[in-house]
Chains A and B, each alone.
Chain A
């Protein structure tokens, strides 16, 4: 499986993502500078976390005009896999690949924590290796991670099972107390209608190497890899 990780000025999770796909999973991985429009024949494009273009204007607002992201939009529209993590999720919403927006956290704090999430859907390449309704723990680190969409969009997301991860308590209850940032419907990650584009605020790449104590995120990358091997 070929993987490309887009590198924006101000991104800081690009190498972490590449470490998982290249070093832990042994897959050919390219770091693609934002000014490049050649995605190096990628099967999976990762739009990483960080503070692309300094978060100027709005988080993710400027990144979407870069040649690399325009190529990513084309890739997604052809059915290619795209994973947006944290700032990458914000970029995908700004680019219109995913509905809604991510706004300032409810309590104004930058939240940096380990957060339980309930896996809401497992018939996706991203989550096929998780048990249905499994509770996993991933790191979160963001100031603008409060998911917002109008009532109509939320209803549509629910109806089409596009909500992939929800913030939960450790036993898997979806409560306001378990919601770290005020996201509507406790949304931590969503996919587009066909399921080839996933955006999530939690960081699976930071929970992939056992030396860091947690590996719940590795299964997400393994799921895509499994799918890629089956398709080959």
Chain B
């Protein structure tokens, strides 16, 4: 119990993007919309996903390891998507 209370909370900001080889018709449609608005300089638009995950973990390395598993197994499909995440401490460990 004491261990659980002492664990810090992390917040991950996960960015999921389509692999470069996968066409993004939605991005192309948005790009065309931007051109219609007069932003002729827009060269490319690619649309991805942003996922926020808050989790408790013993330390940062454990949090990263768990997030990699989450991303590989559910949050992204490695056939079509890449991901990266930023990790920050949300609540520090409470001293026992």
| Contacts from A to B (Cβ < 8 Å) | 57-58, 61-62, 65, 93-94, 99-101, 103-108, 146, 148-150, 182
By the criterion CB–CB under 8 Å, are A182 and B21 in contact?
Answer: no
User: Which chain B residue lies CB-closest to A107?
Assistant: B25
A to B CB contacts below 8 Å, 16 in the list: A57-B74, A57-B75, A58-B77, A93-B79, A100-B79, A101-B77, A101-B79, A103-B22, A103-B23, A103-B80, A104-B25, A105-B25, A106-B25, A108-B29, A146-B23, A148-B79
> Which of A94, A108, A150 contacts B25 (CB under 8 A)?
A108
By the criterion CB–CB under 8 Å, are A104 and B79 in contact?
Answer: no
A100 to B80, CA, bound (A): 8
Chain B residues with Cβ below 8 Å from A57 are 74-75
| Contacts from B to A (Cβ < 8 Å) | 21-26, 29, 74-75, 77, 79-80
Extra pairs beyond A103-B23, A108-B29 (10, CB < 8 Å): A58-B77, A61-B77, A65-B74, A99-B79, A106-B23, A106-B25, A107-B25, A108-B26, A148-B22, A182-B25
4 cross-chain pairs, A with B, having the tightest CB-CB distances, nearest first:
A101-B79, A101-B80, A108-B25, A101-B77
By the criterion CB–CB under 8 Å, are A150 and B26 in contact?
Answer: no
- Best-surrounded residue of B22, B75, B80 (most CB of chain A within 10 A): B80
By the criterion CB–CB under 8 Å, are A61 and B74 in contact?
Answer: yes
Closest chain-A Cβ to B55's Cβ sits at a distance in Å of: 17
A192 to B29, CA, bound (A): 34
User: Which chain B residue lies CB-closest to A184?
Assistant: B23
Closest chain-A Cβ to B95's Cβ sits at a distance in Å of: 37
Chain A residues with Cβ below 8 Å from B25 are 104-108, 182
Interface of A is mostly: loop
A94 to B77, CA, bound (A): 7
- Best-surrounded residue of A104, A107, A108 (most CB of chain B within 10 A): A104
Closest chain-A Cβ to B70's Cβ sits at a distance in Å of: 11
By the criterion CB–CB under 8 Å, are A182 and B79 in contact?
Answer: no
A65 to B77, CA, bound (A): 14
Closest chain-A Cβ to B32's Cβ sits at a distance in Å of: 11
By the criterion CB–CB under 8 Å, are A150 and B21 in contact?
Answer: yes
By the criterion CB–CB under 8 Å, are B23 and A149 in contact?
Answer: no
By the criterion CB–CB under 8 Å, are B26 and A104 in contact?
Answer: yes
Chain A residues with Cβ below 8 Å from B26 are 104, 108
Closest chain-B Cβ to A212's Cβ sits at a distance in Å of: 31
Closest chain-B Cβ to A148's Cβ sits at a distance in Å of: 6
Chain B residues with Cβ below 8 Å from A148 are 22, 79-80
A88 to B74, CA, bound (A): 17
> Which of A62, A108, A146, A149 contacts B79 (CB under 8 A)?
A149
Chain A residues with Cβ below 8 Å from B29 are 108
